[in-house]
Amino acid sequence: MATRKAQLVFERPLATVDVAIFTVLQEQLHVLLAQRPKADDEPFPGRWALPGGFVDVAQDRTLEDCARRKLLAKTGVAAPYLEQLGSWGGADRDPRGWSCTHAYFALLPADVADQQAALAGERVPARWVPVDEALKLRLAFDHRDILEAAVARLRGKVEYTSLPAFLLPEPLTLPQLQRMYEIVLGRELDKSAFRRRMLEAAFLEETGPVPGAGARAAQGYRLRDRDAPVLFPRMFKSAEGMER
């Protein structure tokens, strides 16, 4: 198995990156989908898919660079929360041949998600779709599997991390943050226990009062670390058997 030989002998699979980009709009978790081109020589023409595309060896230094490039192109957002989800590779997932995709997932605050509207109609049609709907669509490639994995990972991690904070613009308030948790988890949480947990985790810094929706203004907070979530020592309630 000499390597020079290997380089010649082994056919190289196609390499792509796909990103599941989430945000919360109208009290619902949404994912960004892009429509595949309709040309006949394209795989899955006209179908909806996760935004993504080929790794550009000439342009991307690393896989993560590639993911950030695609994210910027689709959403106009430069530095959202981005984490690797996994890779899917096989002979059957792309009609053009053996391919590997490197899947990422990203979280965006709703306000910058709106900026995406400005980019809409530029090149490829893209739209925000509620995840329940998206999972019912016949997505291109194996993107349904990937989206399922992304949603499972998100829901799982929300049980014991501060991830939902990345779904909000700063300054954020605790009532807003609790709402994000509830939307992603699909169940209500106790206010007192929630606040205790967030404040004890000490990942928030007070800014000023924020005159939110209600009568009384809420305390505003900023994240101490915009790059990584905090991990809590326990899960909410009893969530045994859930995905992580």
Interacting residues of 116 by C-beta distance below 8 A, sequence separation 6+: 32, 74, 75, 76, 77, 126, 128
Candidate residues 88, 166, 181, 194; the one interacting with a copy of itself per rule CB under 8 A: 88
Candidate residues 8, 11, 186, 213; the one interacting with a copy of itself per rule CB under 8 A: 11
**Distance spanning both ends of the chain, measured CA to CA:** 38
Stretch that binds a copy of itself, among 74-82, 83-91, 133-141, 187-195 (CB under 8 A): 83-91
Tokens 């995905």 belong to residue: 243
Q: Least separation, in Å, of the C-beta of 70 and DNA?
A: 36
Q: Least separation, in Å, of the C-beta of 242 and DNA?
A: 13
Q: Least separation, in Å, of the C-beta of 56 and a copy of itself?
A: 6
Judged by beta carbon, residue 98 or residue 182, the one nearer a copy of itself is 98
Rounded distance, CA 244 to CA 233, Å? 14
Q: Which does 117 bind (CB under 5 to 8 A by kind): DNA, a copy of itself, none?
A: none
Rounded distance, CA 95 to CA 128, Å? 27
- Measuring CA to CA, which residue among 178, 16, 183 is closest to residue 94? 16
The verdict on whether omega for the bond into residue 37 sits within 30 degrees of 0, i.e. cis, is no
The residues binding a copy of itself (CB under 8 A) are 1-4, 6-7, 10-15, 37, 39, 41-43, 53-58, 60-63, 66, 84, 86-92, 96-98, 100, 102, 231-235, 238-242, 244
